[in-house]
């Protein structure tokens, strides 16, 4: 797991409920900020900031998709 300092990250908070399938909807403003559109691929990381577990999402090009994706 990667550790970061909170000062390294721009913090924008919003509450979202996790649905019964474990999904979280990323708000449009977040998707725009990381440059992803509908049906784009994202890379998801688990990290730690100031002792709190956080999820990082990175928009990636379709040509960069992982081997486990088709």
| 2-63 under CATH 2.10.260.10, yes or no | yes
Q: How confident is the model at residue 21 (pLDDT cuts 50, 70, 90)?
A: very high
Q: Which residues neighbour 18 within 8 Å (Cβ) at sequence distance 6 or greater?
A: 24
Percent of the chain with pLDDT over 70: 70
Please give the Cα distance from 2 to 9 (Å, whole number). Answer: 13
pLDDT of residue 1: 57
In contact, 34 and 55? CB cutoff 8 Å: no
| 3-class secondary-structure state, position 32 | helix
- Is pLDDT at 9 greater than 80 in this prediction? no
Please give the Cα distance from 65 to 70 (Å, whole number). Answer: 8
In contact, 16 and 24? CB cutoff 8 Å: yes
């Amino acid at each position: 797991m990667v550790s970061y300092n909170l000062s390294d990250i721009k913090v924008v908070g919003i509450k979202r409920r996790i649905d019964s399938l474990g999904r979280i909807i990323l708000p449009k403003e977040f998707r725009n900020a990381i440059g992803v559109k509908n049906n784009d691929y994202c890379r998801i990381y688990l990290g730690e900031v100031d002792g709190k577990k956080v999820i990082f999402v990175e928009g990636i090009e379709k040509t960069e998709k992982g081997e486990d994706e088709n």
